[in-house]
């Protein structure tokens, strides 16, 4: 069975900034059948807001960012959030990621900030860095 994941915004931004590294490798594998990605409207709006605010430093135009996010929406599982646990985590934006992961019955939240997601195990979730997630994918092959 393919794992289900939610990408934290920091992983998306890291992937957009550089083609080197695990974040880019995870993003480039979205939609290729190795795993399923789960999204929510608030999370997509967060991706768009942060990426477009950083577009100059990322080196992408707004229409290029739109195309990447549109692709993610096309291949991902969009979930509606009909409950809120806020505040559960320290950062309300991290709560938004947690809510999407729980609603989507995900296995992992992929993030660079593992500490920000302490306690999510009670929801049956694990936070992994992009490199650790890629190693898990390779182990399952």
Q: Would you say 52 and 58 are in contact if contact means Cβ atoms under 8 Å apart?
A: no
The residue range of the domain holding 40 is 4-140
- The DSSP-derived string for 24-68 is HHHHHHTTSSS-EEEEEHHHHHHHHHHHHHTHHHHT--HHHHHHH
| Mean of per-residue pLDDT scores for the chain | 93
- Give CA 45 to chain center in angstroms: 12
Lowest mean pLDDT of 16-25, 46-55, 75-84, name the range.
75-84
Give the whole-number percent of the chain exceeding pLDDT 90.
83
- pLDDT average, residue stretch 42-65: 96
Average pLDDT over residues 34-53: 96
Express the helix, strand and coil content of the chain in percent, nearest 5 each. 55, 15, 30
Q: How many CB atoms lie within 10 A of CB 68?
A: 18
Is the whole-model pTM more than 0.85? Answer: yes
> Residue 36: is its pLDDT beyond 70?
yes
pLDDT classification of 140: cutoffs 50, 70, 90: confident
- What CATH number has the domain bearing residue 104? 3.40.50.1010
Count of structural domains within the chain: 1
Is the per-residue pLDDT at 87 higher than 80?
no
pLDDT digits (tens, 9 = 90+) for 106-118: 999 999 999 999 9
Which residue shows structure tokens 């997630």? Answer: 133
Q: What is the DSSP letter of 84?
A: -
pLDDT digits (tens, 9 = 90+) for 3-34: 999 999 999 999 999 999 999 999 999 999 99
First and final CA of the chain: distance in angstroms?
11
Res 112: pLDDT? 97
């Amino acid at each position: 069975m393919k794992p289900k994941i939610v990408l934290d915004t920091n992983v998306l931004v890291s992937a957009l900034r550089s083609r080197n590294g695990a974040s880019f490798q995870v993003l480039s594998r979205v939609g290729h059948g190795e795993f399923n990605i789960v999204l929510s409207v608030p999370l997509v709006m967060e991706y768009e807001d942060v990426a477009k605010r950083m577009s100059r430093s990322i080196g992408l135009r707004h229409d290029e960012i739109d195309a990447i996010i549109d692709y993610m929406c096309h291949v991902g599982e969009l979930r509606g959030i009909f409950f809120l646990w806020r505040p559960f985590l320290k950062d309300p934006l991290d709560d938004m990621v947690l809510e999407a992961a729980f609603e989507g019955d995900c296995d992992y939240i992929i993030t660079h900030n593992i500490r920000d997601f302490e306690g999510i195990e009670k929801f049956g979730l694990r936070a992994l860095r992009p490199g650790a997630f890629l190693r898990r994918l390779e182990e399952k092959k």
